[in-house]
Amino acid sequence: MPAVQETIDQVKEIDVDKYKYGFVTDIEMELAPKGLSEDIVRFISAKKDEPEWMLEWRLDAYRRWKTMEEPTWARVDYPKIDFEDLHYYAAPKSTTGPKSLDEVDPELLETYKKLGIPLSEQAVLAGVEGARVAVDAVFDSVSVVTTFKDELAKAGVIFCSISEAVREHPELVKKYLGTVVPTSDNYYATLNAAVFSDGSFVYIPKGVRCPMELSTYFRINEEKTGQFERTLIIADEGSYVSYLEGCTAPMRDENQLHAAVVELVTLDEAEIKYSTVQNWYPGDADGKGGIYNFVTKRGDCRGKNSKISWTQVETGSAITWKYPSCILRGENSRGEFYSIAISNGRQQVDSGTKMIHLGKNSSSRIISKGISAGNSQNTYRGLVSAHRKAAGARNFTQCDSLLIGDQCGAHTVPYIEAKNSTAVFEHEATTSKISDDQMFYCQQRGMNEEEAVALIVNGFVRDVIQQLPMEFMAETQKLIGISLEGSVG
């Protein structure tokens, strides 16, 4: 409740500069030469000190990528990306794999402090007493530090950068990497497989409930750099983990590319809750600059009674192309997707989910709330399918769109495929604007237009906000206020 007030305060405070994470960190970087070739792939692999099998895996993906074409089916429109004009590796020079917090470049610590990300293990998140979050901080192409590692290790939890996992836990990486999102999956996923530079790795052993929230914080800093991180989370039988992901980038006039891959695996009775607050730089009011966010996220509920839950709050990026999905393979497995996608200015969002029901009695739930303002286009695209053997599959989908102003668009493109007679699917979608009656009622009680909109929108997205871990709720409500700033009147 107080957070709504904060939203309103936030909206008021913000003047011209809406995007408060737009600063640039001035730090000496090591860059790979622009362009992509087998040599660059080898360069990245060598930088990471990777074993031969990893290099081969990358090269295989690279060769495949060369034969693929960029997808065009999404409802987004942007100039062709020149993949030869990008750096595929950028790392702060000071980072040769810090062993502890003391070794991290103070400039970097300062950056994360400014972003409100606690990298000190003593720090607690503002306003949430006793809540501790372990953070893996990824700066451009590399992980700069991972906190609480030792404490997590005591519980048997492995939480480290993926580069480290390739070296230290090759058996787990070999067993799971690319099994949910194969290297051939799609154009951007294949590109990612070839050049991914870092990301997080999590393994929760059998029967362990991860003792704290895990989190990765992505920051793109360098100019003309693509960020290609790869995250792999494995929840072994009967385990549980809640994982948060945050991201920001400086305000730059050029578009920056972010093509990540996230793979989740849950075995019998295991559960992963994955939350994202995506706040990449959206570009300016005229559509100049901003991040191209082309991300493949997929979870595989392999075990019986396993569960994967995606919650996303998408407010940033110039273009979002993202469909966090669940393959519901296990009997009684469950997939959930809760999404808030807000677009303003010239942003283009094409996002949604896929729920692929393969296992008996698998169930899924989709709640999507899209809000379009300004000159933006916001599309929900989703697939729910039940295959022949998915007897008793259940899905409930609710897709609501809200339009603020008459220069934007809201679109809903669901694909619903039932190939088993006992599958029961329910899908509902609505599009509307904030009703004049609701606005008048709020104004009659003394709120101005912007306060009233913030209040009503917060109500509109509440079903989803409630799915977020506590630490993120307040931040998200603020973010909604910020994203819609200037959308009224």
Partner 1 sequence: MLQINNLHAEVDGNKILRGINLTIKPGEVHAIMGPNGSGKSTLSYVLAGKDDYEITEGEILFKGEDLLDMEADERAAAGMFLAFQYPIEIPGVATMTFLRTAMNAQRKARGEEELNTPDFMKIVKQKAAELNVTADMLKRPLNVGFSGGEKKRNEIMQMALLEPSMCVLDETDSGLDIDALRIVSEGVNALRGPDRGMLVITHYQRLLDHIVPDVVHVMSAGKIVKSGGKELALELEEKGYADYVNAA
Partner 2 sequence: MTAQPTNMQTQAEKALLEILGGQPLTGAREIAAGRLRESGLPHRRVEEWKYTDLRAYLKDFPTLADQSGAVLTREPLVPADVSLQVVNGHAQSVPGELPDGVSISVAKTDNGTAFHTKPSTTVDLNTALSNGGYSIAISKADKVPVIFIDHIVDGTEAVTAAFRHSITVESGANATLVERFSGPSDVAYLVSGGLSAFVGDGAFLTHTRVVNEGPQSSHLGAIGARLGANATYEPFVMTLGSYLVRTDVHLTFEGEHSHGGVRGATLIKGDEHTDMTLEVDHAAPNCTSIEQFKSVIDGRAQAVFQGKIMVKQIAQKTDAKMMSQGLLLSENGEFLNKPELEIFADDVVCGHGATCGDLDDNLLFYLLSRGIPRPVAETMMVQAFVSEAIEDTEQPEIIEALEAMVEDWLATRQA
Residue 398: strand pairing partners: 367, 428
Q: With binding defined as CB under 8 A, does residue 425 bind partner 2?
A: yes
C-beta of 341: minimal distance to partner 1 in Å?
Answer: 16
419 contacts partner 2 (rule: CB under 8 A): yes
Of 137-145, 238-246, 424-432, 447-455: span binding partner 1 (CB under 8 A): 447-455
Q: Which does 432 bind (CB under 5 to 8 A by kind): partner 1, partner 2, none?
A: partner 2
**Binding at 440: pick from partner 1, partner 2, none (beta carbon under 5-8 Å per type):** partner 1
**What are the Cα distances from residue 418, in Å, to 73, 106, 120, 388, 444?**
23, 55, 50, 8, 48
Side-chain half-sphere CA neighbours of 57 within 13 A? 19
Residue 127 within binding range of partner 1, rule CB under 8 A: no
Q: Based on CB atoms, which residue is closest to partner 2, 317 or 395?
A: 395
Beta strands per DSSP E along 249-347: 255-258, 261-266, 271-278, 290-301, 307-314, 319-322, 325-328, 334-343
Rounded least distance, CB 373 to partner 2, Å: 9
Considering the rule CB under 8 A, would residue 401 count as an interface residue with partner 2?
Answer: yes
Select 201 or 460, whichever has its Cβ closest to partner 1.
Answer: 460
Task: Write each residue from 73 to 92 as x if it is in contact with partner 2 (CB under 8 A), else as -, in one continuous string.
Answer: x-------------------
- Cβ atoms of 287 and 55 closer than 8 Å: no
Tell me how far, at minimum, the Cβ of 327 lies from partner 2, in Å.
19
* Interface mask toward partner 2 for 320-339; x: CB under 8 A: --------------------
Tokens of 192: 């990612």
Candidate ranges 140-148, 287-295, 314-322, 399-407; the one touching partner 2 (CB under 8 A): 399-407
Nearer to partner 2, 211 or 405 (CB): 405
Cα–Cα distance for residue pair 335/328, rounded to 1 Å: 7
8 interface partner picked from partner 2, partner 1, none, CB below 5 to 8 A per type: partner 1
Tokens representing 93 are 């020079």
CA pseudo-torsion sign 40, 46, 48, 53: positive
Q: Is 449 in the site for partner 2 (CB under 8 A)?
A: no
Which of partner 1, partner 2, none does residue 455 bind (CB under 5 to 8 Å by kind)? partner 1
Burial class (CB in 10 A: 0-12, 13-18, 19+), 13: exposed
Residues between 344 and 363 that touch partner 1 (CB under 8 A): none
What DSSP assignment string belongs to 148-192? SHHHHHHTT-EEEEHHHHHHH-HHHHHHHTTSSS-TTS-HHHHHH
Using CB under 8 A as the criterion, what x/- string covers residues 399-438 for binding partner 1? ------------------------------------xxxx
Query: With binding defined as CB under 8 A, does residue 411 bind partner 2?
Result: yes
The torsion of the CA quartet 82, 250, 90, 257, rounded to 10 degrees, works out to -30
Rounded distance, CA 244 to CA 472, Å?
9
Phi/psi at 385 (5° precision): -135, 145
Q: Are 349 and 409 in contact (CB under 8 A)?
A: no
Nearest distance, CB of residue 450 and partner 2, angstroms? 17
Residue 26, classed as helix, strand or coil, is: coil
Pick one of 108, 267, 410, 442: the residue that binds partner 2 (CB under 8 A).
Answer: 410
Name which position in 63, 66, 114, 462 contacts partner 1 (CB under 8 A). 462
Shortest distance, CB of residue 135 to partner 2, whole angstroms? 39
Cβ-based neighbours of 164, under 8 Å, separated by 6 or more: 97, 143, 201
Interface pick for partner 2 out of 5, 37, 100, 432 (rule CB under 8 A): 432
The minimum distance between CB 377 and partner 2, in angstroms, equals 9
Should residue 424 be labelled a site residue for partner 2 when binding is judged by CB under 8 A? Answer: yes
User: What CA–CA distance (Å, rounded) separates 479 from 14?
Assistant: 11
303 contacts 269 by C-beta, under 8 angstroms: yes
Q: Which does 73 bind (CB under 5 to 8 A by kind): partner 1, partner 2, none?
A: partner 2
Using the minimum distance from each CB to partner 2, give the nearer residue, 306 or 347: 347
Q: Does 489 interact with partner 1 (rule: CB under 8 A)?
A: no
Other C-beta atoms closer than 10 Å to the C-beta of 127 total 13
User: Would you count residue 171 as binding partner 2 (CB under 8 A)?
Assistant: no
Question: Least separation, in Å, of the C-beta of 69 and partner 2?
Answer: 10
415 binds partner 2 (CB under 8 A): yes
Among 165, 455, 474, 480, binds partner 1 (CB under 8 A): 455
Q: Is 167 exposed, middle or buried (0-12, 13-18, 19+ CB in 10 A)?
A: middle
Distance, CA of 110 to CA of 190 (rounded, Å): 34
- Which residues are near partner 1 by CB under 8 A? 1-2, 4-5, 8, 435-438, 440-449, 451-452, 455-456, 458-463
